[in-house]
Structure 1
Amino acid sequence: MMYPPLYILRHGQTEWNAQLRIQGSLDSPLSDLGRAQAKQQHEILRSRDLSGYRAFCSPQGRAFHTASIALDGLCPRIDTDPRLVEIGVGAWEGLRRDQLGTDPHMDETEEGALDLYERAPGGEGFDALRNRCTAFLRDLTGPAVLVTHGITSRMLRLIVLDMETHEIADLPGGQGVVFHLSDGLQTKL
């Protein structure tokens, strides 16, 4: 399926991101660095023509705060959609990665921790996340700017790029960046 052109942003760093704490449906305020990252996203986007683009955002505070900074003066309004929330991590919400009782030599990088989101007890899992992201994307009627979360951002991009779920770690992450997707191609701005 072809999707309209998209700009996809992950929220800026939060206090819990800095502590390697898993947020899921919980929330933590943006750190000073997170607010600076949102300003960086604003600088990236203000050089783009967003005429005709709608803005959608996760209703979670960290994403909405990022959107309010990154899209300030660029989009007439920001609509929230619950399908853009972060993947649910069940019993692991609010815990630091070193409290999970997993491998003590675990790769602490963002890419190394991706499988945690699939294994979280009582969590949503990648299949359910893919289903809700697909439903959101199918409802889009035109170009959009999406402000969401780390795992949800990757899943949205995975779907648009027609990749398999197991390839999620092949996509770059990052805060303070903007991904442009158009005609089946992704560009990191």
Structure 2
Amino acid sequence: MTFPELYILRHGETEWNAENRMQGALNSPLTDKGLRDAARQAAILNGLDLTGFQFLCSPQGRAFQTAGLALGRIAADIHTDDRLREIGVGDWSGVLRDGLPVPEGKDPFMAQYEIAPSGEGFARLEVRCRAFLADLTGPSVLVTHGITSRMLRSIVAGEGAVSVPTIHGGQGCVYHLKDGVQKLLE
């Protein structure tokens, strides 16, 4: 399947990111660094020709706040789509990561999302992200979350797009995906 050209942004750092808490469907405000992250994304995007692009955002507060800061000067309309929300972490919403089980394996950080009690899990997240991508009608700028961004990028550009595990990857930068190739804009 081919996909339209995409620019994918992760929301800026939140208070809970800084505290190392699982957020999922819950929200916490952007930190001062998070505000700078969004301003950096705005500077990156301001240098691009985004004529004909649509602008889509997760409805969750941290992403919507980032979208306003990063896209406010370039987007006439920013539409929300619930499928861009962060992966659900069920019973672990709001819990400090340090108190959670750490599964063995090459990326225990990611494995926590898979084993979260009453969580969404990666299979359901992938179904949601594939449905979202299938509905895109043209080039788009997306403002979303860390794990949802990873899933979207792995679907569009393959597993190599997310091969380097990082807990806060994507804040303050923009991922450009075109013709199955990902490029990091910083």
Under a length normalisation based on structure 2, what TM-score does the superposition of the two structures give? 0.92
Out of 129, 142, 152, the position equivalent to 1:156 is 152
8 Å CA contact 1:177–1:188 kept in 2: the answer is yes
How many pairs are equivalent? 183
**Deviation of 1:105 (Å):** 10
* CA–CA separation in structure 2 for the residues paired with 1:182 and 1:159: 12
* CA–CA separation in structure 1 for the residues paired with 2:155 and 2:105: 27
Letter in 2 for 1:151: I
Indicate yes or no: 2:134 matched with 1:138.
yes
Letter in 2 for 1:161: A
* CA–CA separation in structure 2 for the residues paired with 1:170 and 1:156: 15
Q: For each residue in 1:105-136, what CA deviation from the matched residue of structure 2 results, as whole angstroms up to 9, or x when unmatched?
A: 999xxx65111111101100000000000000
Q: Which residue of 1 aligns with 2:15?
A: 15
**Deviation of 1:169 (Å):** 4.5
CA RMSD between the two structures: 2.1
Q: Which residue of 1 aligns with 2:64?
A: 64
**Deviation of 1:75 (Å):** 1.2
Q: Which residue of 2 aligns with 1:123?
A: 119
8 Å CA contact 1:55–1:75 kept in 2: the answer is yes
* CA–CA separation in structure 2 for the residues paired with 1:125 and 1:36: 31
* CA–CA separation in structure 1 for the residues paired with 2:102 and 2:112: 11
Letter in 2 for 1:31: T
* CA–CA separation in structure 2 for the residues paired with 1:52 and 1:105: 45
**Alignment partner of 1:23: what SS?**
coil
8 Å CA contact 1:9–1:177 kept in 2: the answer is yes
Under a length normalisation based on structure 1, what TM-score does the superposition of the two structures give? 0.91
**Alignment partner of 2:20: what SS?**
coil
Q: For each residue in 1:34-69, what CA deviation from the matched residue of structure 2 results, as whole angstroms up to 9, or x when unmatched?
A: 000000000000000010000000000000000000
Letter in 1 for 2:75: C
Letter in 2 for 1:40: R
* CA–CA separation in structure 2 for the residues paired with 1:125 and 1:71: 30
Q: Which residue of 2 aligns with 1:42?
A: 42
Q: For each residue in 1:140-165, what CA deviation from the matched residue of structure 2 results, as whole angstroms up to 9, or x when unmatched?
A: 0000000000000000001111449x
Superposed counterparts of 1:87-98, under 5 Å: 87-98=87-98
Indicate yes or no: 2:186 matched with 1:185.
no
**Alignment partner of 1:145: what SS?**
strand
User: What percent identity do the matched residue pairs reach?
Assistant: 56
